[in-house]
Amino acid sequence: MAEIRENSAMRLFAISVGILIALICAFFLGAYLLGGSLGNARFPSLTFAGGTAEPAAPQASPAETVSERAAAPQPAPKKPVFPHMELQAQYAGPFADTLIQRWRDPIDGRVCYIYLPAYVKHAPLDKPGGFFDYGANSIGSISCGAPGPELKPAR
């Protein structure tokens, strides 16, 4: 009776290992078909190995040579360049160690006020770190508005 149990356990183990191997093979075959060098209409070649999820270049026709493919290098993507806002003024905030900064957009003249803390170490208040906690939703806010009409100096 012990032999039958042992044989059943060995058969169950062998079947489990076989199923596991079949699943692993199916996974790698699917990954190969989707990301490998087999590129056709049914299984488009995707370049997952390079870290991108964009489709690879279409398959070259037999008339196209290797030198023609090498003659057209792909342009490298350029990092966008954004203009910098201009810091026009800095004021003391209503609470201790807070600032209000006035920034101007050089493109459309929009003005933004940023209310932010200036972290200054205090004597230990109520927290062991010694920094004063102002809380959320008030400090660190930004408010922008369209530029107003230009004021002319009084005579």
| Cα–Cα distance measured from residue 6 to residue 13, given in angstroms and rounded to the nearest whole number | 10
Q: Evaluate whether residue 132 is within a structural domain.
A: yes
The pair of three-digit structure tokens given for residue 42, joined into one six-digit string: 């049914």
Q: Domain ends where: 42, 57, 72?
A: 57
Residues 127 and 90 in one domain: yes
Tell which residue, 100, 82, 98, has the closest CA to residue 90: 100
Q: Which residues pair with 87 in a beta bridge?
A: 103
**88-146 pLDDT tens trace:** 999 988 877 788 999 999 888 899 998 887 765 555 656 566 556 655 555 678 888 88
Query: How many domains does the chain fold into?
Result: 2
Residues 47 and 90 in one domain: no
Q: Evaluate whether residue 155 is within a structural domain.
A: no
Q: Evaluate whether residue 141 is within a structural domain.
A: yes
Residue 36 has pLDDT above 70, yes or no: no
Number of Cβ within a 10 Å radius of residue 116:
14
Residue 25 has pLDDT above 50, yes or no: yes
Question: What is the model's pLDDT at position 48?
Answer: 45
Q: Domain ends where: 41, 57, 73?
A: 57
pLDDT band at 52 (very low <50, low <70, confident <90, very high): very low
Residues 91 and 135 in one domain: yes
- Strands in 86-92's sheet, in edge-to-edge order, are 86-92, 98-104, 111-117, 141-145
Q: Which domain holds residue 27?
A: 2-57
Question: What is the model's pLDDT at position 43?
Answer: 46
